[in-house]
């Protein structure tokens, strides 16, 4: 095996029963459908952003489809994504749970991790203005700043709660140990970590810890950054700035093997009347009743496909088969390049060479 780091023992059993996807799931003081919308790729990181009109259409279509959890961040588009979400969804503010993030922003055209309390307070004020709201429902620390104890960053988030500017707090891409330290300072409502068939890091600690502590685990990139869909990205078609070019799983050394695994998933999904994305999402949601998913998309058709998984009954045997086909033991390449690993606090998994 080759991968991000040394393998660790899986912490806690994987749930053996499949939760009811139709039932609302707890997210701190809120109840939301198990599938929300990650808004990042409407402004940031993947491909060329859609037009303002197309982005607005996607957000409003999500609202019409029953989505209530919308996830953005100060980083996305260096503020542009928050402005978009605020402008389009502002008239519907009472219908949604609005999540954003601080601690990783754009400074002079560069991505900067800064978890100092004064920076968190300043970023929050900027986010509130861009979102056009008096309060953010769920405010995450986007990344742990290795130069700032998590207790200090969470203390600043707790001050925002006390001031009525934030209703609940969360963390993103941190380990179970860091989560417990943060939770001791102020109750953490949600932990947002990457989780999917091909990224199993939460199974090394945070899946069990969130279940134990009553914290929602919000899975980002649940369809493998577009690979676990019926239209996986063609790398030659992606613009140079697309972040997937820098991710080992998408390089020529690994991507063909990962596409072969995706094809095996497609062969499992088709006889059951499922798309690959629906099988991947159903697998994530089956990991526990405290697990939610926030896939992102620019396609209204794909959005409806994702949300439809809530009304599907996927046999446990099929989910188990999917988990055997694609896992941290079969995926090829690590999820981040070595230069970016110091930014990530999560438990790490191996990957097939």
213-258 pLDDT, tens digit per residue, is 999 999 999 999 999 999 999 999 999 999 999 999 999 999 999 9
Bridging pattern class, strands 30-32 and 25-27: antiparallel
Instruction: Please report which confidence band the pLDDT of residue 343 belongs to, taking 50, 70 and 90 as the band edges.
Output: confident
Sign of the dihedral through C-alpha 49, 52, 57, 60: positive
Does residue 124 lie within any of the structural domains? yes
pLDDT > 70 fraction of the chain, expressed in percent and rounded: 93
Catalytic residue among 76, 140, 255, 336: 76
pLDDT at 21: 66
Q: Which two structure tokens, joined as six digits, stand for 207?
A: 């899946």
Q: Please indicate whether residue 76 is annotated as part of the active site.
A: yes
| Total number of domains constituting the chain | 1
Cβ pair 156, 120 in contact under 8 A: yes
Spatial separation of the C-alpha atoms in residues 297 and 67, rounded to whole Å: 13
Q: Between 21 and 344, whose confidence is greater?
A: 344
Measure the N-to-C terminal CA separation of the chain; round to a whole number of Å: 6
What are the pLDDT digits (tens) for 167-213? 999 999 999 999 999 999 999 999 999 999 999 999 999 999 999 99
Bridging pattern class, strands 190-194 and 97-102: unpaired
- H or E element that contains 128: helix 117-131
What are the pLDDT digits (tens) for 126-147? 999 999 999 999 999 999 999 9
pLDDT at 47: 84
pLDDT at 18: 64
pLDDT > 90 fraction of the chain, expressed in percent and rounded: 86
Does residue 200 lie within any of the structural domains? yes
Average pLDDT over residues 153-170: 98
What's phi and psi for 190, nearest 5 deg?
-150, 145
| 350 pLDDT above the threshold of 60 | no
CA dist 242 → 104, 149, 238, 262 (Å): 18, 32, 6, 21
Does residue 159 lie within any of the structural domains? yes
Instruction: Please report which confidence band the pLDDT of residue 16 belongs to, taking 50, 70 and 90 as the band edges.
Output: very low
Spatial separation of the C-alpha atoms in residues 152 and 114, rounded to whole Å: 12
Does residue 248 lie within any of the structural domains? no
Instruction: Please report which confidence band the pLDDT of residue 109 belongs to, taking 50, 70 and 90 as the band edges.
Output: confident
Average pLDDT over residues 297-325: 97
- H or E element that contains 106: strand 104-107
Torsion of CA 41, 44, 48, 54, to 10 degrees: 50
| 110 pLDDT above the threshold of 90 | no
pLDDT at 17: 54
pLDDT at 23: 87
CATH number for the domain that contains residue 168: 3.20.20.100
DSSP SS3 for 233: coil
Spatial separation of the C-alpha atoms in residues 288 and 292, rounded to whole Å: 9
Does residue 250 lie within any of the structural domains? no
| 8 pLDDT above the threshold of 80 | no
Does residue 73 lie within any of the structural domains? yes
Spatial separation of the C-alpha atoms in residues 186 and 145, rounded to whole Å: 18
CA dist 241 → 220, 227, 245, 296 (Å): 20, 18, 8, 18
Domain membership of residue 289 as a residue range = 13-225+281-313
Does residue 343 lie within any of the structural domains? no
pLDDT at 262: 98
Cβ pair 227, 258 in contact under 8 A: yes
pLDDT at 14: 46
pLDDT at 48: 87
pLDDT at 258: 98
Spatial separation of the C-alpha atoms in residues 182 and 176, rounded to whole Å: 10
Spatial separation of the C-alpha atoms in residues 291 and 180, rounded to whole Å: 18
Instruction: Please report which confidence band the pLDDT of residue 4 belongs to, taking 50, 70 and 90 as the band edges.
Output: very low
Task: Look up residue 120 and give its DSSP letter.
Answer: H
Does residue 247 lie within any of the structural domains? no
Instruction: Please report which confidence band the pLDDT of residue 352 belongs to, taking 50, 70 and 90 as the band edges.
Output: very low
């Amino acid at each position: 095996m080759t991968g991000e780091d040394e393998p660790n023992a899986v912490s806690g059993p994987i749930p053996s029963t499949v939760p009811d996807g139709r039932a609302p799931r707890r997210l701190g003081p809120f109840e939301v459908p198990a599938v929300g919308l990650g808004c990042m790729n409407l402004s940031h990181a993947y491909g060329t952003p859609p037009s303002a009109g197309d982005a607005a259409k996607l957000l409003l279509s999500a609202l019409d489809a029953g989505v209530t959890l919308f996830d953005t961040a100060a980083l996305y588009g260096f503020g542009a994504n928050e402005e978009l979400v605020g402008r389009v969804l502002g008239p519907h503010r009472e219908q949604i749970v609005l999540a954003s993030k601080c601690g990783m922003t754009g400074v002079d055209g560069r991505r900067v991790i800064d978890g100092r309390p004064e920076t968190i307070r300043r970023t929050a004020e900027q986010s509130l203005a861009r979102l056009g709201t008096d309060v953010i429902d769920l405010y995450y620390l986007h990344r742990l700043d290795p130069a700032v104890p998590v207790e200090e960053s969470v203390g600043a988030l707790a001050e925002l709660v006390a001031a009525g500017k934030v209703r609940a707090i969360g963390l993103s891409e941190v380990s179970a140990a860091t989560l417990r330290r943060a939770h001791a300072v102020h109750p953490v409502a949600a932990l947002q970590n990457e989780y999917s068939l091909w990224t199993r890091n939460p199974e090394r600690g945070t899946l069990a810890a969130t279940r134990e502590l009553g914290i929602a685990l919000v899975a980002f990139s649940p369809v493998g950054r577009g690979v676990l869909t019926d239209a996986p990205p063609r790398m030659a078609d992606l613009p140079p700035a697309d972040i997937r070019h820098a991710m080992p799983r998408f390089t020529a050394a690994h991507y063909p093997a990962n596409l072969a695994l995706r094809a095996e998933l497609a062969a499992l999904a088709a006889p059951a009347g499922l798309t690959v994305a629906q099988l991947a999402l159903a697998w994530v949601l089956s990991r526990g009743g405290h697990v939610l998913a926030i896939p992102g998309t620019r396609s209204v058709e794909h959005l409806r496909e994702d949300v439809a998984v809530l009304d599907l009954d996927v046999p446990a045997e099929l989910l188990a088969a999917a988990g055997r086909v694609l896992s941290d033991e079969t995926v090829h390449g690590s999820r981040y390049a070595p230069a970016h690993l110091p930014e990530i606090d999560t438990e790490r998994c191996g990957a097939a060479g």
